[in-house]
Structure 1
Amino acid sequence: MLHPHVPFGSEAQDHIAPRYQRADIHIVTTASTNRLAGLLADPSQVDSRRFRPNIVIETDASQDGFVEQQIIGKVLSIGEARIVISELCARCTFTALAQGDLAFEPAVLQTIARHGEGGFGALCQVVQPGKIR
């Protein structure tokens, strides 16, 4: 049956949903990006654009390795908001795809699988909404 054309965006709200609903927030730390860069032949290929986080957390220089693996279950305060780190962010081939001036680089995903337990960054749930500045 044919129906009249309905312009995109005017559908009923219950037909529109985000692609991924597993978490409210996705974070990546600079300690993890530094560790990943140190494992790759071309460290310039590690860039937050590959991982699409909502927030990049600048970690202290003394923190090393894939920090997110060590903070699952912890609560972070960012501005007025509080978030709980719920799980590692599992990675797929999207991390290897070219992003802007970054080349296609399968070694990024291979290295995450080998050294990062298949995850890079962390998924988080908001436990206290608030402004982040």
Structure 2
Amino acid sequence: MIRIGTVSSIWRYPVKGMAGESLTRADIGSMGVSGDRILAVQDVARQEIQSCKFRPELLQCRCKAVDNAETVEILFPDGEVKLSSDRDVNDKISQLVGHKSKLQSLRPKSDSKFYQRFKRDDHSWLTELKATFAREPGEPLPDLDNLPDEMQTYVSLLGTFFLVSPFHIITTASLKHMRSIHPGPDWNVERFRPNLIIETLPEISGLAEQEWLGRSLVIGDVTVKLGEAAPRCGAVVRKQQGFSEDRSILRSIVRDAHQNLGVYGDILAEGAIHAGDQIYLV
């Protein structure tokens, strides 16, 4: 095992698509951080679970889990705070995103209809999906024309509100690398919605986590297998509480990082992690 750094911070996002909360300790299970993506916003007309790709206004809300993750507290951009259990919370969300919406809890994997994509026809859904990546003429897209059948049919992994994987990782080395190339913007880590930020050792540089794909991280009792790089969409440029919109960030990621920043992980061994824990590469 090679020591690569420490846990800088841990993040969870109790409502899919909304900004989340920073933790100093978290229980990590097969579905990632406990309390992560326990709710999602459903478009009532489309009968479809929404993400910040399609409803970027959700990013202007900040949420945190309360009451042992039984309830979620949502701070709206106008400063109003509501609980997920409040009777008028769906009206508030609908007003924000401009579409009649409601919060939904996870349902069993067997309820596959709940997770289906809205498809008006065979082609418009893919056109909509490509548009969320906010590419300019000449910029490459991820290979969306050859998505696995499950990703074409469903908006998330069945039984979850995760698109690809329950755990997302980014290193300070990568953020430092991108700042060195494009120093003007605010490379606030919240733009990239990681679960784990690794404070890498000083000698580690570049897009470090991209070089570790296929290997595993060990953090105490927790083991995470690093699976795929994370292609970036238009959500990373959007305004959130604390920073403004900046489209140049996505231009730089597409140009200078092969359109990827951060990696997805799968949990091989469960346990608890803490800020400051040592991290080893296997």
Shorter chain as normaliser: what TM range? 0.7 to 0.9
Give the TM-score normalised by structure 1.
0.84
What amino acid sits opposite 1:39 in the alignment?
I
Question: Is 1:68 the counterpart of 2:209 in the alignment?
Answer: yes
In structure 2, distance between residues paired with 1:51 and 1:59: 17
Question: Is 1:31 the counterpart of 2:185 in the alignment?
Answer: no
In structure 1, distance between residues paired with 2:160 and 2:227: 19
Paired residues, what number? 126
Q: Which runs of 5+ in 1 are unaligned?
A: 1-6
Name 2:269's counterpart in structure 1: 128
Contact 2:106–2:160 (Cα < 8 Å) also in 1 = no
Describe the shift of the 1:89–1:8 C-alpha distance in structure 2 as closer, same or farther (beyond 3 A). Answer: closer
Structure number having the greater strand percentage: 2
Counterpart mapping for 1:1-133 below 5 A: 13=108, 14=111, 15=114, 17-43=159-185, 45-133=186-274
Deviations 1:104-127 (A, max 9, x none): 111111111111111100000111
Sequence identity, in percent? 27
In structure 2, distance between residues paired with 1:21 and 1:61: 32
Residue 42 of structure 1 deviates from its aligned partner by 1.4
Describe the shift of the 1:127–1:42 C-alpha distance in structure 2 as closer, same or farther (beyond 3 A). Answer: same
Residue 83 of structure 1 deviates from its aligned partner by 0.5
Q: What secondary structure does 2:263 align onto?
A: strand
Give the TM-score normalised by structure 2.
0.41
Structure number having the greater helix percentage: 1
Deviations 1:82-116 (A, max 9, x none): 00110111100100111222121111111111111
In structure 2, distance between residues paired with 1:11 and 1:106: 33
Describe the shift of the 1:116–1:12 C-alpha distance in structure 2 as closer, same or farther (beyond 3 A). Answer: closer
Q: What secondary structure does 1:122 align onto?
A: strand
In structure 1, distance between residues paired with 2:255 and 2:197: 23
Higher relative contact order, structure no. (Cα contacts within 8 Å, ≥ 6 residues apart): 1
Q: List structure 1 segments (4+ residues) > 6 angstroms apart after TM superposition.
A: none
